[in-house]
């Protein structure tokens, strides 16, 4: 939908009232296919954002012909009015760029590298703390004196074994 919408933009939309018609030129958000199971539709809902170029009123309801702004010709299929989720209310530029990056192969590799590096850093830190605990515990144990020097009063023994 360039030039109005760019990859990574988040579109805030407003739902339609039942039976509400939408004028040509309006940007709509619609779900092209429904499975018939509302929960599944909600989870798997791929959405398309296109502009209405024509309204057709047929005996079984209103249908819209849509076209992406960057496409040369209108879409090949019509959109029934009950497939429209809403109309564009606002755009938050580039707010979804991080999600797009994480979905890319480069983003997946970067996320994996960050996780592995963080895990390794935490492991190194834990082993370092364990070594410090072990050495401080050893430092509190009195050092054994050599046999026979406990009672020696010569200067070298007193300096060597305080």
* pLDDT (tens digit per residue) in 51-94: 999 999 889 888 999 999 989 999 999 999 888 999 999 999 98
Confidence of residue 146 (pLDDT cuts 50, 70, 90): low
| Contact of 55 with 21, CB cutoff 8 Å | yes
Q: Are 41 and 66 members of one domain? A: yes
Q: Are 67 and 111 members of one domain? A: no
Q: Are 83 and 131 members of one domain? A: no
Q: Are 33 and 92 members of one domain? A: yes
Residue 16 lies in a domain: yes
Residue 161 lies in a domain: no
Of 72, 34, 65, nearest to 51 by C-alpha is 65
- Over residues 18-63, the pLDDT tens digits come to 878 899 999 999 988 766 777 776 666 678 999 999 999 889 888 9
| Contact of 52 with 129, CB cutoff 8 Å | no
Total domain count, the chain: 2
Query: Which residue range is the domain that position 86 belongs to?
Result: 10-97
Q: Are 91 and 132 members of one domain? A: no
Q: Are 24 and 68 members of one domain? A: yes
């Amino acid at each position: 939908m360039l030039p109005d919408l760019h990859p990574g933009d988040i579109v805030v939309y407003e739902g339609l009232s039942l039976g509400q018609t939408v004028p040509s030129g309006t940007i709509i958000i619609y779900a092209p296919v429904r499975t018939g199971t509302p929960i599944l539709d909600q989870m798997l809902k791929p959405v398309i954002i296109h502009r209405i170029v024509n309204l057709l009123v047929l005996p079984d309801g209103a249908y819209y012909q849509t076209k992406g702004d960057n496409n040369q010709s209108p879409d090949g299929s019509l959109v029934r009015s009950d497939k429209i989720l809403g109309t564009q209310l606002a755009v938050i530029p580039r707010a979804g760029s991080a999600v797009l990056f994480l979905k890319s192969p480069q983003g997946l590799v970067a996320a994996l590298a960050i996780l592995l590096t963080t895990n390794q850093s935490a492991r190194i830190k834990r082993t370092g703390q364990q070594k410090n605990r072990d050495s401080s515990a050893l430092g509190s144990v009195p050092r054994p004196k050599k046999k026979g020097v406990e009672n020696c009063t010569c200067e070298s023994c007193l300096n060597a074994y305080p």
